[in-house]
Amino acid sequence: MNQKKISDKQNTKIEKKEREKNRRKSIELFEREKTQQIKYDVLNQIEEDKERKKNKKKAVNLMEKERQRRMNILAMNELVSNKERKHNIKKAKKLSEKEKQRRLHDNTLDEIILTNERKQNTKKVNDMENEERERRVLDSTCK
């Protein structure tokens, strides 16, 4: 009977140690996942900032090209007669409108491609994290 009490006490201590060990593992896992999420968020923010800077630079370049193009049209119009000038203005407007439509279309396609790439990258990261979690759960259940 006395030996059974000792055995029960030992089992209780062992179970307590196991629970404490599992609790620590859970806390460590949570902390690691939290750190990974913060790292992912920071990297994602950096990527978005780069993208914004790139798009801003593109916009500035396009505005500068448009300004230069308009100045060229104005300089050209001063050299030609009234009739030719009217004709050239109409032609330039049509070309400008076509160019605007083309740029809009290109920008839309670029945005779609970037969005799809971002979604794919996010999905890959999430899938990897899920696989890692499942592996950890399987590892912890096997032990």
Q: Are 76 and 88 in contact (CB under 8 A)?
A: yes
Name the CA dihedral angle for 108, 110, 113, 116, rounded to a multiple of 10 degrees.
-60
CA distance 143 to 141: 5
Structural domain boundaries of the chain? 2-138
At residue 143, the pLDDT reads 62
In tens, the pLDDT along 110-135 reads: 888 889 999 999 999 999 999 988 88
CA distance 49 to 18: 46
Sequence-ordered alpha helix ranges (H) in the chain: 2-79, 82-142
At residue 2, the pLDDT reads 60
In tens, the pLDDT along 40-88 reads: 999 999 999 999 999 899 989 999 999 999 988 887 767 766 677 678 7
**83 is written with which tokens?**
């009739």
CA distance 11 to 17: 10
The one-letter amino acid at 81: S
Average pLDDT, the chain: 87
